[in-house]
């Protein structure tokens, strides 16, 4: 999935990915961008979720370890090739986000319906 630089936010995301690729951090892009890459949907997102091995996941429950990268896939965002979590790890990271004001159940449902079998 190649994103067009449609907004200042997208230009910022592109710069973040470029900087991370040039760094020594081991990272992957998760969240809405990864969901879109797997499902082919183009659901707008207001942020970019970066999982960095040194810091853990966004849900603060599942540390990002070498195992996350073992089964990861590759996707292209803003002309930058990056790793994304496997479908299983991406869903696993989202099931913990179930607050009243924030619920990622729709993303999990999209994976169940739209992700092609390997």
Looking at residue 67, what is its pLDDT? 85
Query: If you average pLDDT over residues 75-98, what whole number do you get?
Result: 84
Looking at residue 63, what is its pLDDT? 74
Question: For residues 34 and 110, what is the distance between their CA atoms, to the nearest angstrom?
Answer: 12
pTM greater than the 0.85 cutoff: no
Q: 43-82: per-residue pLDDT in tens?
A: 778 889 898 886 555 556 667 788 889 989 999 999 999 9
Q: What is the residue-averaged pLDDT of the chain? A: 77
Q: Residue 5 pLDDT > 90, yes or no?
A: no
Question: For residues 15 and 80, what is the distance between their CA atoms, to the nearest angstrom?
Answer: 10
Looking at residue 88, what is its pLDDT? 84
* 82 strand-pairing partners: 75
Q: Which residue has the higher pLDDT, 103 or 34?
A: 34
């Amino acid at each position: 999935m190649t994103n067009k630089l449609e907004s200042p936010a997208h230009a910022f995301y592109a710069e973040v990915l470029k900087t991370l690729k040039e760094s020594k951090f081991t990272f992957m892009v998760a969240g809405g961008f990864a969901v879109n890459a797997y499902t082919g949907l183009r659901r707008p997102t207001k942020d970019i979720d970066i999982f960095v091995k040194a810091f853990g996941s966004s849900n603060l429950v599942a540390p990002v370890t070498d195992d996350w990268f073992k089964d990861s896939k590759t996707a292209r965002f803003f002309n930058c090739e990056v790793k994304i979590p496997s479908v299983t790890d991406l869903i696993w990271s989202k099931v913990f986000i179930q607050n009243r004001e924030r619920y990622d159940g729709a993303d999990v449902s999209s994976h169940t319906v739209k992700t092609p079998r390997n």
